[in-house]
Amino acid sequence: MKSRTINKLLVANRGEIALRIIRSARVLGIKTVAVYSEADVGAAHVAAADEARLIGPPDPANSYLNLDAIIAAAQTTKADAIHPGYGFLSERPEFARATEAHGMMFVGPPAGVMAALGDKIAARRIAIDSGVPVVPGVGTGDLATARKFAASAGFPVLVKAAAGGGGRGMRVVNDAAGFAAALEAAAREAQAAFGDGRVFLEKYLARPRHIEIQIFGDHHGTIVALGERECSIQRRHQKLIEESPAPGLPSSMRDRMTEAALKLARAAGYRNAGTAEFLVAGDNFYFLEINARLQVEHPVTELRFGCDLVAEQLRIASGERVAEPSAPRGCAIECRINAEDAAHDFRPAIGRVIKLNLPAGPGVRIDTHLGVGAEVSPYYDSLIAKLICYGSDREQARARMGAALGEFSLVGINNTAAFLRDVVASAAFARGDLSTRFLEENFPHWTAAGDDLNAALIAAALIAGGILDGARPVVGSVTPNGARNDAGGACMRTPWTELAGFELWGRR
């Protein structure tokens, strides 16, 4: 492929990931275009970009999922490339095709690769053909076949959606009597979530670890891997804490999983950033899926390898060769802070930021789009901040994380920081005794400690009494034609690359 220059990049996303991409583009001298819904007029990513375009009303279907509106915004602003971030349209092959069809670069894998890997049944076939182990299963949701499989494999079994993930279209079946209802419910949910009601079956693994390998491929056929990430601490199949390296993982298994990830990437003709995910049970590992995009948890890899994965994505999209990664060092842990009430079954929370204190210090990075006056609406994902801590070893990273979570303070929106602090401080986490059932086994009914509860009650009383009136400051805005009317720098924090003296990976 002939190299092409990216002069202007449209970021087809919002929130912290949009800011994250804009920051890397700025370092590379690339102009940026933000898109925003009517709910995000005053959002930080809008203020941070060089230009911004309104693409629709608050509901995602008519804004951030509106492919035509995003392509039109890119054409109007004469963008050379589009970065989809994660979520929304990031794994939609039709978006990649439309971007390329209009003469722009798509910062991600080719549409054909995305389509093949996005279908979990097809991805299983690629893994099997490549000699990569998969969880025993059958690629159909036919009731008769399902019953026959369960009779041979034994209960419980897992019904999964073929076209998506995130726990949607997924059901555990414990006996033959529940099969028909589980298949029907999973197919119905999958159809509603992904527009594809196909399901398939796998043997249910009761207490596995969830471990993934970061991969990168270029247009020249080179594929590299950048270590593993432990992602076992989950709630309803959604990751909450990730770290690298995976604690206690034997080096022989790490090597075998890495080679399996590289085999899969080569077989699929992979390009740009991706993640091969595996389940580990005892001495065995099994292929789960490949996520054909940048992951939420990519910062832990960046801190261990001293790199900028977004910058590398942009380089590869331009036709450059993938850089050989440096040797990893230390340990990094990420906690996802969500706008949820952890004491009440993680009920979603909305509101406006009245006061905010973000942690800092050696080895501490926080990726967030929040500032005083920012609003968390009911329209989008509950992720409001990612706190990432680096240490020379796991215990130092864990200690820094505990201190940083204690320093994090947000008045106005219920959030999970206190819950995560208790998880990180627990004996089980310190031992590295991790599995996908970690929270069920160790935190089945979490309640806030006295200090946290008292602080929340005092804050609520102050707000109600008008002492914290929360007058909304302007963090940045745009004129109707998309021009910025401020300097856009106030919402930007110290570049995270400064925290450990790391250079950007791929810089020559």
Provide block-wise average pLDDT over 10 residues at a time, the chain (508 residues).
89 98 98 98 97 98 97 98 96 97 98 93 94 93 89 93 83 90 93 88 94 97 97 94 98 98 96 97 95 97 98 97 94 98 95 97 98 96 97 98 98 97 98 97 89 57 51 33 34 33 31
Identify whether residues 56 and 189 lie together within a single domain. no
Same domain, 328 and 235: yes
Q: What is the pLDDT of residue 167?
A: 77
Both 234 and 192 in a single domain? no
User: Is residue 307 domain-shared with residue 378, that is, in the same domain?
Assistant: yes
Do 194 and 235 share a domain, yes or no? no
Does residue 499 lie in a domain region?
no
Q: Are residues 187 and 217 in the same domain?
A: no
Tell me the residue range of the domain where 244 lies. Answer: 209-454
Let me know if residue 502 belongs to a domain: no
- The dihedral built from the CA positions of residue 140, 145, 147 and 149, taken in this order, carries a sign that is negative
- Of the chain, the end-to-end C-alpha distance in Å amounts to 21
Structural domain contains residue 484: no
Q: Give the number of domains in the chain.
A: 3
* Cβ atoms of 102 and 74 closer than 8 Å: yes
pTM of the predicted protein model:
0.88
The confidence score (pLDDT) of residue 448 equals 86
CATH number at residue 72: 3.40.50.20
Same domain, 382 and 311: yes
Do 96 and 71 meet the contact criterion of CB atoms below 8 Å apart?
no
Question: Going by DSSP bridges, is the β-strand pair 238-244/355-357 parallel, antiparallel, or unpaired?
Answer: unpaired
216/149 same-domain check: no
| Residue 504 falls inside a structural domain | no
Q: Are residues 334 and 303 in contact, defined by beta-carbon separation less than 8 angstroms?
A: no
Decide if 3 is inside a domain: no
Candidates 293, 336, 394, 400; catalytic one: 293
Q: What is the Cα–Cα distance from 384 to 369, expressed in whole angstroms?
A: 7
**Is 157 within the bounds of a domain?**
yes
Q: Are 505 and 325 in contact (CB under 8 A)?
A: yes
Residues 6+ apart with CB under 8 A from 501: none
Closest CA to 105 of 86, 85, 79: 79
Q: Mark whether 164 and 223 lie in a shared domain.
A: no
DSSP characters over 27-82: HTT-EEEEEEEGGGTT-HHHHHSSEEEEEE-SSGGGTTT-HHHHHHHHHHTT-SEE
Residue 89, helix vs strand vs coil = coil
CATH assignment at residue 358 = 3.30.470.20
293 is catalytic: yes
pLDDT of residue 479: 33
Contact 36, 14 (CB under 8 A): yes
pLDDT confidence of residue 414 = 96
Element (H, E) at 264: helix 251-268
Tokens of 414: 């219920």
| CATH number where 156 lies | 3.30.1490.20
Do the domain assignments include residue 116? no
At which of 107, 126, 152 does a domain end? 107
Considering the domain architecture, whether residues 325 and 402 belong to the same structural domain is answered as yes
- Angle of helix 309-317 relative to helix 15-27, nearest 10 degrees, comes to 70
Same-domain check for residues 178 and 302: no
131 within a domain of the structure (yes/no): no
pLDDT value of residue 268:
95
- Looking at the fold, whether 266 and 404 belong to one and the same domain comes out as yes
